[in-house]
Structure 1
């Protein structure tokens, strides 16, 4: 990412791509980089917090369930004439669960991430393509 991209105003068609190493620690690193972009875009605090939570949930989903490599794509868009931030995490598709692994997942601790994304987003979905899948969400930013 260049300084010019960091200082670009939202809505100028700039897309930021952050590779996601396949490691749980990578989520916080990529989230901090995305936070720097949101700060430069001067998002209202509540909207920025919502976007960051969506980013965290989609990145964690990719680290836990997907086949690497993965990347976060962050861009500004208009949704019904309103400013929004589009968050998309692209990966090589869902990873197959190991036999019996679902029995070890505590439903009180896991499984709510995509519900959180749905609650915070104006729109969200999944796009499947030959290279894998993109889980995306658009969060209103003001």
Structure 2
């Protein structure tokens, strides 16, 4: 059974809802870091594969998760939580940074502008919809991605 509170897990099976008529849901919380981005990507790929999401939308979702969690690693608070929910052909992805404030190193003046600032543009080009919400506790980005009616239900 899923807890209403985010928690850490090492495998998608730890956090996915039972199959059947309930919505497919999973979440993972990790410290915000560049290393965690890889874990969020792998978790997303494994969960969506388990849910039967086909390759193209799964690859898009993994890229979206990569961009959003990289942003939290670079600009966010101490923790990042990824939420995945897939009701009726649309995958909902939410990434929230929360916890203590983190001092991030400034981006160097010689940083290549082609390597920064494209993440939300990439997300917007792949997503059906997205929104960003800032509050006193952090930032949440929510995204809807069409995964298609043809994807099989587990």
What is the aligned partner in structure 2 of residue 140 from structure 1? 146
Q: In the TM superposition, what is the alpha-carbon distance from 1:5 to its structure 2 partner?
A: 5.2
CA distances 1:38-59 after superposition (whole Å, capped 9, x unpaired): 0011112111111110010001
Instruction: Determine whether 1:73 maps to 2:83.
Output: yes
Give 1:117's aligned residue. Answer: 123
Match of 1:108 in 2: 114
TM-score (norm 2): 0.75
Distance in 2 of aligned mates of 1:113 and 1:3: 29
Distance (Å, rounded) in 1 between the aligned partners of 2:58 and 2:28? 18
Cα 1:46–1:69 shift into 2, 3 Å: same
Q: What is the aligned-residue RMSD (CA, Å)?
A: 2.7
| CA separation of 1:128 and 1:134: change in aligned 2, threshold 3 A | same
Summarize the alignment of residues 1-142 of structure 1 with structure 2, pairs less than 5 Å apart: 3=13, 6=16, 8-9=18-19, 12-78=22-88, 83-92=89-98, 101=107, 103-142=109-148
Task: Identify if the C-alpha distance between structure 1 residues 24 and 98 changes in structure 2 by more than 3 Å, giving closer, same or farther.
Answer: closer
Normalized per residue, the structure richer in helix is 1
In structure 1, how many angstroms separate the alpha carbons of the residues matched to 2:104 and 2:112? 15
CA distance in 2, matches of 1:107, 1:127: 25
Q: Deviations over 1:62-92 (max 9, x none)?
A: 10111121111111134xxxx1111111013
Q: Please state whether the residue corresponding to 1:108 is helix, strand or coil.
A: helix
Structure 2 segments unaligned to the other structure (5+ residues)? 1-8, 149-154
TM score, norm. by length of structure 1: 0.81
Gaps of 5+ in 1: none
